[in-house]
Amino acid sequence: MSEKFFDLSGQVALVTGTSRGLGQYLARALARAGADLILTSRKRDTLSEFEQEIRAMGRKVLSLELDVRDHASIQSMAQQAEAAFGQIHILVNNAGCNVRKPALDVTWEDWNLVLDTNLRGSFFVAQAVARGMIARGYGRIINIGSVTSVFGFAGLAPYGASRGGIRQLTMSLADDWGRHGVTVNCLAPGWFRTEQNKVLYEDPEWVAYITDRIPVKRPGQPHDLDGAVVFLASEESRYVTGQTLLVDGGISTGATRATVARK
């Protein structure tokens, strides 16, 4: 173990879905902690600017194409990553999508898109990367969930199902792979402004409504996730596995849902 807590120097981290949004923030936090990075996106050219930023931090970086709905793409990505770096110590399963609709309007295609991307994709990426981790006896897998992993929200049926599945998947994989030195945890953000939900943040009434439900009285900022992702990626989390860490400002407590009654 490093003498410095949460030091990821010499570690290689693979972060999926890093062309924009929270994926970039999570990758940036790992790089600041010392990790070299493998970035992925369905279109490699969308990673070029971010790759330069990471390289300017003094980190080694590799960009690879990955479509998490394509099993061959997953296998190819994992093989290229292992060949380039020799090993992967950390996986952040971040790639995801959402379809925001009333449940009665959700189509077969909507359901398949969200579940195939968020849940099936996360499993098979984890499986592909875990083979090397298990062979070497060490690994940190961080599945990105959501507050919807534990609470239901109207208009998010496929998304909530996929994120709830991520929580259950995390526990199953933790039990399966713990004996091999591989921990598996779920990092579950609350309400953060992302590309997937930016339309909501354009509505002042919705922002006021959701802010009132958050005990710390503000939506999340990307840097609020830095400490959590670095901790789960580090040696210091060696005895933490199968857990869902909610970084949500306390909205999952439900404490502010009785606002009217408390006034």
Write out the catalytic residue numbers.
159
Residue 200 sits at the vertex; the CA angle it makes with 221 and 230, to the nearest 5 degrees, is 25
Secondary structure of 29-48 as H, E, C letters? HHHHCCCEEEEEECCHHHHH
- Dist CA 102 CA 214 (whole Å): 24
| Residues 184 and 177 sit within 8 Å (Cβ to Cβ) | yes
Q: Can you point out the beta strands (E) in the chain?
A: 12-15, 36-41, 61-65, 90-93, 139-144, 182-189, 244-247
Residues 105-127 as b or e (16 or more Cβ within 10 Å = b): ebeeebeebbbebbbbbbbbbbe
Cβ(92)–Cβ(125) under 8 Å? no
d(CA 7, CA 157): 38
d(CA 51, CA 18): 10
Pairing of strands 139-144, 182-189: parallel
Is the separation of the CB atoms in 173 and 126 below 8 Å? Answer: yes
